């Protein structure tokens, strides 16, 4: 394929993607759920316009809107490739982000969805894979007069979107930490093979999270370092806040990885323990009965002349002697803490 080819790479969705257009300023706000292309072509100079497309599988839609906002073909390729690595790109008239959003995080299970965001002077263009949307709280704040987002420009809107996405990571981290604590408890009490399976799955989860968050960290850092007049100075401290959140998520991933290692160790230690216990049982039983079996073997021999056998109480003395031997060995093992 030629570079800049417009091909969708991702899950097969069947819903019909629509453009949602929300226009607002300090004074007003209005939204259209299924905006037409003409509307997008004729945005007013006043206020902020947020266009959100809830599906990438209809390549023509992505293409059409990209033409309106003059998006570079390479970036269209990035939007359409849902395996794209998180990154940020600076162009003269817009800033571009693509990153992974955490969806449906329940009990530490989740999947990721790609979000791409373009921020222009007074417009924001966002692309998602699915219909169901985590951006609803932002919409609500836009429709409520007097909120910060209404007072500020497109830069603050983008920050709000990124903030909500990062909240998803934060919540997932919380869930993963709680899950790790639960797993720990089970491993201490009664470890089994399923736990090893879980530990391994957790490891893979953390590897894939690291692959999502590490380049995101780079992208946010780049955003902070690059001078750009699209971002108002008053929004800078919000970006620093984002940066702190990414750092916190990244710290959490690192410590979860260490805890995962620790769980694996705990599992193997318990395997080892169990083995020791089993071998102890074998040793105790063998060590007590093998010598006794030897003794009874002695008196089972068929020699003509074996004086003990003629003794009237020989049998009983032998039984008592063997009992004493067994008892002595049990005491020995008790002292060695093997029982």
**Token couple for 265:** 């160790």
Binds a copy of itself by CB under 8 A, chosen from 273, 327, 328, 331: 273
- b/e per residue 144-173 (b: at least 16 CB within 10 A): eeebebbebbbbbbbbbbbbebbebbeebb
Number of residues that bind a copy of itself (CB under 8 A): 91
| Part in contact with a copy of itself (CB under 8 A); list of ranges 44-52, 108-116, 126-134, 205-213 | 205-213
Shortest distance in whole angstroms from residue 263 CB to a copy of itself: 9
* 305 makes contact with a copy of itself (CB under 8 A): yes
Mask 173-202, x = binds a copy of itself (CB under 8 A)?
Answer: ---------------x----x--xx--x--
Binds a copy of itself by CB under 8 A, chosen from 269, 323, 324, 339: 269
* 37 makes contact with a copy of itself (CB under 8 A): no
| Part in contact with a copy of itself (CB under 8 A); list of ranges 18-26, 41-49, 114-122, 309-317 | 309-317
* Residue closest to 172 by CA, chosen among 110, 88, 250, 100: 110
Binds a copy of itself by CB under 8 A, chosen from 7, 282, 320, 331: 282
Shortest distance in whole angstroms from residue 233 CB to a copy of itself: 11
3 state DSSP class of 29: strand
* 233 makes contact with a copy of itself (CB under 8 A): no
Angle between helices 154-189 and 193-225 (to 10 degrees): 160
Q: How far apart are CA 49 and CA 37, in angstroms?
A: 14
Question: For residues 43 and 95, which CB has a smaller minimum distance to a copy of itself in the complex?
Answer: 95
Binds a copy of itself by CB under 8 A, chosen from 279, 320, 324, 331: 279
Residue 247: C-alpha distances to residues 103, 243, 331 (Å)? 20, 6, 59
Question: For residues 18 and 248, which CB has a smaller minimum distance to a copy of itself in the complex?
Answer: 248
Q: Which of residues 285-304 bind a copy of itself (CB under 8 A)?
A: 285-287, 289-294, 296-304
Q: How far apart are CA 288 and CA 329, in angstroms?
A: 7
Question: For residues 18 and 87, which CB has a smaller minimum distance to a copy of itself in the complex?
Answer: 87
Give phi and psi for 74, each to the nearest 5.
-60, -35
Shortest distance in whole angstroms from residue 131 CB to a copy of itself: 24
* 331 makes contact with a copy of itself (CB under 8 A): no
- Measured over the CA atoms of residue 219, residue 220, residue 221 and residue 224, the dihedral's sign is positive
Q: Please say whether the beta carbons of 70 and 31 come within 8 A.
A: no
Q: Find the angle CA(107)-CA(111)-CA(115) to the nearest 5 degrees.
A: 130
Shortest distance in whole angstroms from residue 276 CB to a copy of itself: 5
Q: How far apart are CA 52 and CA 44, in angstroms?
A: 17
Q: How far apart are CA 90 and CA 93, in angstroms?
A: 8
* 168 makes contact with a copy of itself (CB under 8 A): no
* 330 makes contact with a copy of itself (CB under 8 A): no
* 55 makes contact with a copy of itself (CB under 8 A): no
Question: What is the bridge-based pairing of β-strands 87-90 and 48-54?
Answer: unpaired
* 26 makes contact with a copy of itself (CB under 8 A): no
Q: How far apart are CA 173 and CA 249, in angstroms?
A: 7
């Amino acid at each position: 394929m030629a570079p800049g080819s417009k091909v969708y790479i991702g899950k097969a969705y069947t819903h019909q993607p629509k453009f949602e257009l929300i226009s607002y300023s300090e004074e007003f706000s209005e939204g259209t759920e299924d905006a037409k292309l003409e509307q997008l072509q004729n945005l007013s100079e006043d206020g902020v316009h947020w266009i959100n497309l809830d599906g990438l599988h209809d390549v023509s839609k992505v293409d059409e809107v990209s033409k309106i906002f003059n998006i570079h073909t390479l970036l269209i390729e990035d939007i359409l490739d849902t395996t794209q690595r998180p990154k940020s790109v600076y162009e003269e008239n817009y800033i571009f982000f693509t990153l992974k959003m955490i969806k449906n995080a329940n009990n530490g299970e989740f999947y990721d969805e790609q979000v791409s965001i373009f921020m222009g002077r007074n417009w924001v263009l966002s692309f998602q894979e699915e219909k169901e949307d985590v951006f609803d709280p932002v919409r609500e704040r836009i429709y409520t007069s007097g909120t910060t987002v209404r007072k500020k420009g497109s830069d603050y809107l983008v920050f709000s979107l990124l903030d909500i996405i990062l909240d998803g990571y934060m919540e997932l981290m919380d869930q993963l930490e709680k899950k790790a604590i639960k797993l720990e408890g089970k491993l201490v009490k009664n470890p089994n093979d399923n736990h090893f399976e879980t530990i391994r799955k957790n490891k893979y989860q953390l590897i894939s999270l690291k692959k999502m968050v590490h380049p995101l960290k780079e992208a946010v850092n780049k955003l902070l370092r690059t001078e750009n007049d699209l971002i108002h100075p008053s929004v800078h401290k919000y970006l620093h806040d984002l940066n702190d959140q990414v750092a916190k998520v990244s710290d959490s991933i690192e410590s979860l990885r260490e805890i995962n290692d620790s769980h694996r160790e705990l599992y193997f230690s318990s395997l080892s323990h169990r083995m020791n216990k089993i071998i102890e049982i074998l040793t105790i039983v063998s060590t007590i009965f093998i010598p006794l079996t030897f003794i009874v073997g002695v008196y089972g021999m068929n020699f003509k002349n074996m004086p003990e056998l003629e003794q009237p109480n020989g049998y009983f003395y032998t039984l008592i002697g063997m009992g004493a031997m067994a008892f002595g060995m049990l005491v020995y093992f008790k002292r060695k803490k093997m029982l």
